[in-house]
Structure 1
Amino acid sequence: MDLDHAFFCGNPALDFAATLRARRTLRFETLVSPDRLDAWYVESGVVDTVSPSRAADVEQAIVVREAVYSLITARRLGEAYDKEALAAVNSVARKPPATPQLTATGRWTSATPEEALATVARHAVEVLGGPDVPLLKECGNPECTRVYIDRSRGVRRQWCGMESCGNKVKAAAYRARKKQAQPAAVH
C-alpha cells in the first residue's frame, strides 16, 4: 500500500475533508478508487484493517466528505449549517462505528467500509460540536483548502503543515523578493 495521503489537520474528519485537494483551483481527487479509500482509512489510523470497499462505498464516502467540508466551512465562518450536509453526516454517524478489540498484541480495529465511514462521521460530530471549534483555521497557502486545528502557542500557525504548504509559500516569497531586488539588466 502506498502511503500518499496527508494528515496535517489534527482530526480524522478534517483530514478526510482534505482528500479533495486544491478545491479552488486544480481540484485534485485522492479517493479515486476503492483501494485508495481503504488505504486512507488505514493510513489515517481510523482502523487497522478494513474489508475491501466497492465503488458504491467510494461514492458514499465522497458524499459524506463533501458534507463534512461544508459543515467545517460553515462552522469556521460562523454561518448556518446546510441542512442536507447536516443530515448526511448525522445519518452516517448514527450507524455502528468501527469497534476496537483487545488482542494479545494490543488494540486492533477491523471494520467494514460502512463502519469506517461512520467512525469518520463521528469524528466530524465531535470536532464540530467540541471545544476545538475556535481553533479551526484554513491553510494560509491560497492554493490549499485544508482546515486544521491550530494548537500552536499563541494560536499563530499559518499553514496546514510546513512540509506541504509552509515551505512552498515561504520559498515562493523568497524568490519573489530576490527577483525584485535584482537591478535591471543593462543591454
Structure 2
Amino acid sequence: MTKAEIRDGFKFRGGSPSLDLAATVTGRLGAAPRDLLAAPADLDRWLVAAELAPAAPGATEGNLVQARSLREALYRLALSRAEGTALPEADRDLLNGFAALPAAPLQLGADGRAHLSGDVRGLLAELAREGVSLLGGDFSHRIRQCEGPPCAVLFVDTSRKGERRWCSMSACGNKAKAAGFRARERSA
C-alpha cells in the first residue's frame, strides 16, 4: 500500500523527508508564497504527518525558527543539485551543523514498529542527516524540480529511465497532460 501524497494538509511527493520538508512552502515560485509552518503546532502536525513522530512532540517558537532555517537550506541545496550548480557554502554549513547535533534515537515501540524518539531538535537533526545522505549520495543526480507550473516541489526521480518530469503523476502530471490534450484539440 502506498502512502497518501497529501497528509494533514502537507504534500509528501518528494520521495525523501528532507525534500518533503522543503515542500512546506506553497506557491514558492509565485507572487504570494505561503508558509505551511506558520506556528509551532504546524511543525508538530508536519512531524506526525511525515511519520517522524508518533505524536506531537511539543515544538516551540525556537524549534519553528530552526525548522524553517533547515527547510530553506535543504531547498537551496536540492535546487542546486537539480540545476547542476555548486552547492551554496552557507547552506552546506548550516545543514552539516544540524546533522552534527544529537539525533532522535530509533526505538522499537510496543506496536512492534520502529519509531524515532526524542524532542523536535533531535528530529530536525535526523532530517538533516537524511538530507546529507540524499544530497551527497547515489541519488543526488536524480533530484528534480517539478515541471508543472507553478509547482516548485523538488523530488527524487526513481523512475527506471530517470526522465520523470512531475512531482506526482496524479497531480501535476495529470494537469500537464490534460492541458496538452486540450491544446491539441483546439489546434485540430
Retained in 2: the 8 A contact 1:47–1:98? no
After TM superposition, give the deviation of residue 180 of structure 1 in Å.
3.9
Alignment of 1:39-50 (within 5 A): 39-50=45-56
Could you tell me which residue of structure 1 aligns to residue 119 of structure 2? 112
Corresponding residue number in structure 1 for 2:140: 133
Q: RMSD over aligned Cα, in angstroms?
A: 1.7
Alignment partner of 1:142 is 2:183: no
TM-score, length basis structure 2 = 0.88
**What TM-score, normalized by structure 1, do the two folds share?**
0.88
Percent sequence identity over matched residues?
35
State which of 13, 19, 24 in structure 2 corresponds to 1:19: 24
Q: CA deviation at 1:114?
A: 0.5
In the alignment, the residues of structure 1 paired with residue 62 and residue 141 of structure 2 have an alpha-carbon distance, to the nearest angstrom, of 35
Write the distance in 2 (CA, Å) between the matches of 1:122 and 1:33.
24
* SS of aligned partner of 1:137: strand
Specify the code of the residue in structure 2 equivalent to 1:24: L
Distance of 1:131 and 1:20 partners within structure 2: 27
Name the CA shift for 1:167/1:28 in 2 (closer, same or farther; >3 Å). Answer: farther
2:3 corresponds in structure 1 to: none
Aligned counterpart for 1:98 among listed residues 104, 115, 121: 104
Q: How many pairs were matched up?
A: 180
**Separation (CA, whole Å) in 2 of partners of 1:46 and 1:16:** 11
Of the three residues 169, 175, 184, the one matched with 1:177 is: 184
Report the CA distance between 1:134 and its aligned residue.
Answer: 1.6
Which of 71, 76, 95 is matched with 1:89 structurally?
Answer: 95
Q: 1:160 aligns with which of 149, 154, 167?
A: 167
CA–CA distance in 2 between the matches of 1:62 and 1:104? 32
Aligned twin of 2:131: 124
1:7 aligns with 2:7: no
| Contact kept in structure 2, 1:50 and 1:112, CA below 8 Å | no
Contact 2:81 2:141 (C-alpha < 8 Å) held by counterparts? no
Q: How big is the shift at 1:50? A: 4.1
Structure 1: stretches of 5+ with no match in the other structure: 182-187
Instruction: State how far apart, in whole Å, the 2-side matches of 1:86 and 1:175 are.
Output: 43
8 A contact 2:116–2:123 mirrored in 1: no
How much has 1:165 moved relative to structure 2? 1.0
Please list the CA deviations of residues 51-103 of structure 1 after superposition, one character each: whole Å capped at 9, or x if unmatched: 21122211111111111111111222222222211111111111111112123
SS of the residue aligned with 1:155? coil
* Structure 1 SS opposite 2:138: coil
- CA drift of 1:174 comes to 2.6
How far does residue 24 in structure 1 lie from its aligned partner after superposition? 1.3
Between 1:72-81 and 1:129-138, the stretch displaced more is 72-81
Residues in 2 aligned to 1:135 and 1:60: alpha-carbon distance in whole angstroms: 27
Secondary structure of the structure 1 residue equivalent to 2:161 = helix
